[in-house]
Amino acid sequence: MSEVELEMALRADVKAAFPMLVETYQDALYRFGLRLTGNSHDAEEVAQDAFVRAFRWLLANSPPGEGQLKAWLYQVTLNVFRNRVRKPKLPTAALDAAELVRGDDGLEPATAAAAAETRAELAQVLSRLPLRYREAVVLRHVEDLTYPEMAAVLARPEGTVKSDVHRGLGLLRAALAETREEVLV
Amino acid sequence: MTETEILEKLEELREVRAPAGLRANTLLATGLADAYFPLETPLGRLYVAHNPRGLSAVLHARSPQDFERAFQAELGRLAVPQDPPPKLEATLREWLRGDHRHKLRFDLRGLGEFQQAVLFKALEIPYGQIRPYSWIAREIGRPKAVRAVGTALAHNPIPLFIPCHRVVRTDGHLGNYSLIGPEAKRTVLEAEGVAVDDLVRLADSGIRYFGSDTTHIFCFPTCRYNKTLTPRHKVQFTSEAAARAAGYRPCKICKPSCAESYADGDPRVTAS
């Protein structure tokens, strides 16, 4: 179901439309949570909390303006995540086994294993970036949001968001180079 | 890694699907769905739905999907499969054996006041006993609403645990049953130890009540008080009037007295 259709359905009847909202955005919010927290357990909790909060808000208020549902849901998820980080530390993200075993179709097993390893490593390094840059890189390059959408989600000017993404990618590259060296030593 | 490689790898991080439990848990947490599980009963496999308020539905269905459809059609909420909470499952099994020491809670939201009164009254009928529709009507203070009592019981959302099967026609015949059909009613009652054939035979011969010629009390045939009666002291009545005329009073446990006899100024009451 498209964003616009969902928005219309929510305006008509929140309770009837909300299950469809969950269907439509569960992969996105879970993935967003996974890339921010670095582990599937926290990701599931973050996504579920975000949905529950979104539901309560929608029951009491009218849905966000036209074409803003998706950005708003990311915003709610981000708030849930930030609240958790602020509270007693999230348990350190354990490397997800799922990430390591998943192979790539059409690749030789050895290559697939290497690719999966790189991916897991990247996910790990990403989940340790400073919050500000982690959020920016994930929203732009994993979630594929546009800069105007990101500016709305993060409540920062587009220029700031762009430079955060740039800075975040730089930090990511540096951190990856570092872990590589550690492995070599 | 070059920046291009990093961007490619970041894109690969998109290949993630939400775990199966996320949707279900979200719908449960928002109250948009009830949890359900299959339960083996004397009537075969039934499906039991529940939420934090209590049991919300018991239905017969050919498959989980059929159950989900029927549940949504009747209650307007979704149902998601979950493992049964061990305590609840244990209590349900106890109830099916007639052991009511643990309480069950029922979610009867959406039902009218009258129907709720009927269902709560049905809950008072002990395991292995039966009462007529007119008994419920009189007990809830609506003696003329016998037919409406039948309708309310026919739409019992939680059959078996709210024992609408223990309510039968005033002439002693079993009457209809919402769950599966009339034969199922017999099956459940027999599973509770009710001698259905004997009762039907009794009803056919017009017997409605038993009395004791030592205490001069009369009861419904399935009242537990009757079990203590020896055949020598057992008397039969075809009507309450006959029992009262013989100088018998209604039992205080099964309360067999019919509506009109409770009305003020009823000649039979004042006469006795």
At CB < 8 Å, which residues of chain A contact B? 15, 18-19, 22-23, 26-27, 29-31, 34-35, 40, 44, 47-48, 51-52, 55, 115, 118-119, 122-123, 126, 137, 141-144, 169, 172-173, 176-177
- Examine the pLDDT at A104 and tell me if it is beyond 50: no
Contact B89, B35 (CB under 8 A): no
Q: Do B11 and A27 touch (CB under 8 A)?
A: no
Q: Do B18 and A137 touch (CB under 8 A)?
A: no
pLDDT, mean of residues B77-106: 96
Instruction: Return the pLDDT at A182.
Output: 66
Q: Is A102 exposed, middle or buried (0-12, 13-18, 19+ CB in 10 A)?
A: middle
Beta bridge partners of A64: none
* Catalytic residue list contains B164: yes
Which residue of B15, B16, B80 to mutate against A (max A Cβ within 10 Å)?
B16
Beta-sheet pairing, B234-237 with B33-41? unpaired
pLDDT tens figures, A137-166: 999 999 999 999 999 999 999 999 999 999
Which residue, among A18, A19, A50, A21, has the nearest Cα to A33 in the 3D structure? Answer: A50
Greatest mean pLDDT among A60-69, B82-91, B168-177, B197-206 lies in B82-91
B207-263 CATH:
3.40.10.10
Hey, CA dihedral for A154, A156, A159, A160, is it positive or negative? negative
Min distance A23 CA to chain B CA atoms (Å): 7
- Examine the pLDDT at B189 and tell me if it is beyond 70: yes
The DSSP output letter for B83 is P
Which residue, among B162, B198, B165, has the nearest Cα to B180 in the 3D structure? Answer: B165
Residue type, B195: A
- Examine the pLDDT at B268 and tell me if it is beyond 50: no
Contact B160, B188 (CB under 8 A): yes
Residue type, B80: V
Higher per-residue pLDDT: B79 or B225? B79
Min distance B57 CA to chain A CA atoms (Å): 20
Instruction: Return the pLDDT at B54.
Output: 96
Higher per-residue pLDDT: B67 or A3? B67
Which residue of A141, A145, A180 to mutate against B (max B Cβ within 10 Å)?
A141
Sequence spans of domains, chain B: 30-96, 113-201, 207-263
Furthest-apart CA pair in chain B: how many Å? Answer: 105
Instruction: Return the pLDDT at A95.
Output: 54
Which residue, among B20, B9, B19, B55, has the nearest Cα to B35 in the 3D structure? Answer: B55
d(CA B150, CA B143): 13
pLDDT tens figures, A15-28: 999 999 999 999 99
Q: Do A19 and B27 touch (CB under 8 A)?
A: yes
pLDDT tens figures, B221-252: 888 887 778 888 889 999 888 999 999 999 98
Instruction: Return the pLDDT at B271.
Output: 33
Q: How far from each other are the two terminal CA atoms of chain B, in whole angstroms? A: 102
Half-sphere exposure of A152 (CA within 13 A, CB side): 15
Contact B49, B34 (CB under 8 A): yes
Higher per-residue pLDDT: A121 or B260? A121
- Of the options 3.60.21.10, 3.30.160.70, 3.30.1490.20, 3.40.640.10, the CATH number for the domain spanning B30-96: 3.30.160.70
pLDDT tens figures, A25-76: 999 999 999 999 999 999 999 999 999 999 999 999 888 888 899 999 999 9
Backbone angles phi, psi at A45, to 5 degrees: -65, -45
Per CB-CB distance under 8 Å, the chain A contacts of B14 are: 31, 142-144
Q: In whole numbers, what is the pLDDT of chain A averaged over residues?
A: 87
Instruction: Return the pLDDT at B229.
Output: 81
Higher per-residue pLDDT: B76 or B116? B116
Going along chain A from its start, the domains and CATH numbers come out as 1-92 (1.10.1740.10), 105-185 (1.10.10.10)
Instruction: Return the pLDDT at A89.
Output: 58
Contact A77, A32 (CB under 8 A): yes
Instruction: Return the pLDDT at B264.
Output: 38
d(CA B132, CA B10): 71
- Examine the pLDDT at A183 and tell me if it is beyond 80: no
d(CA A64, CA A61): 9
Q: In whole numbers, what is the pLDDT of chain B averaged over residues?
A: 89
| ipTM score of complex | 0.81
Question: Cα separations (Å) of A168 from A143, A149, A160, A176, B215?
Answer: 15, 18, 12, 12, 92
Which residue of A10, A25, A34, A122 to mutate against B (max B Cβ within 10 Å)?
A122
Hey, CA dihedral for B18, B21, B25, B27, is it positive or negative? positive
Beta bridge partners of B46: B39
- Examine the pLDDT at A96 and tell me if it is beyond 70: no
Which residue, among B109, B96, B102, has the nearest Cα to B159 in the 3D structure? Answer: B96
Which residue, among B87, B93, B69, B89, has the nearest Cα to B79 in the 3D structure? Answer: B69
- Token pair for residue A154? 């993060």
pLDDT, mean of residues B144-157: 94
B113-201 CATH:
1.10.10.10
Q: Do B9 and A15 touch (CB under 8 A)?
A: no
Q: Do A52 and B26 touch (CB under 8 A)?
A: yes
